[in-house]
Amino acid sequence: MKKILLVSLALSAFAAKAHTESDSSYRFAGDHEYARFCKAVVTDDVKMLKRSITGKVGLVAGSRKNVLRKLLSEDGLKCNGSDLIKFSKEREAFKVNAYLSE
């Protein structure tokens, strides 16, 4: 019984470490307050993108629609030197690209 407990603890510790390492495999330069937008594209996570947009309501613009409009504008947010739509195409983030192109 003790062996099973030790094995399961070791496996869960390995899984936690693997999860932590995968989260830190991305490096962001610049304004880290907006890094979640780029990470949402890299991971093709529409929910993270929507949460990030909602989090900037009141700071960037008064509504989610206007926040997205400002982020997508010509002088808006850049990820790796590209705007969000171009970056999502480069990273083949099809779900995020579909959401941004609506």
- The answer to whether the beta carbons of residues 64 and 57 sit under 8 Å apart is yes
DSSP state of 30: S
Q: Does residue 65 belong to any structural domain of this protein?
A: yes
Higher pLDDT, 84 or 24: 84
Domain that holds residue 72: 29-100
Residue 9 included in any domain: no
Q: Which residue in 30, 14, 31 sits closest to 22, CA to CA?
A: 14
Instruction: Find the mean pLDDT for residues 62-75.
Output: 94
DSSP code per residue over 41-94:
HHTT-HHHHHHHHHHTBTTTBSSHHHHHHHHHSTTS-EETTEEHHHHHHHTT-H
> How many domains does the chain divide into?
1
Task: Give the three-class secondary structure for 39.
Answer: helix
pTM here is 0.71
Domain membership flag for residue 17: no
Residue 22 has pLDDT above 50, yes or no: no
Residue 5 lies in a domain: no
Residue 4 falls inside a structural domain: no
Domain assignment present for residue 69? The answer is: yes
Residue 49 within any structural domain of the chain: yes
